Amino acid sequence: MSEGKDQQIIIKKYKKGGEEGHGGTWKVAYADFVTAMMAFFLLLWLLTMTSQQKKIALSHYFQNYSIFEKGGGSVVATIEDTPGEGLFDVGKGKEVAPPKTVMASELSQKIKRHMDQNLQRYRDRVFIVEDDGNLRIEIVDTVGTSFFTAGGVDLNEDGKALLKGLVPVFKGLDRKLIIEGHTDTTGSREKNWDISTQRALSARFELERDGIPPDQIEMVAGYASTRPFIKSNPADPKNRRVSIVVDYKTPRYQPSPGQIMQKPPLPDSPLGLGS
Share of the chain above pLDDT 90, in %: 47
Across 172-191, average pLDDT: 93
The alpha carbon of residue 57 and the mean position of all alpha carbons in its chain are separated, in whole angstroms, by 11
The predicted-structure confidence for 206-241, as pLDDT tens digits, reads as follows: 999 999 999 999 999 999 999 999 999 999 999 999
Q: Quick one: pLDDT band at residue 99, thresholds 50, 70, 90? A: low
> 142 in helix, strand or coil?
strand
pLDDT at position 15 is 60
pLDDT at position 6 is 63
Report d(CA 75, CA 53) in Å as an integer. Answer: 13
* CB neighbour class for 226 (10 Å; exposed up to 12, middle 13-18, buried from 19): middle
Task: Report if pTM > 0.75.
Answer: no
Q: Quick one: pLDDT band at residue 250, thresholds 50, 70, 90? A: confident
Average model confidence (pLDDT) across the chain: 76
pLDDT at position 133 is 86
pLDDT at position 89 is 34
pLDDT at position 84 is 30
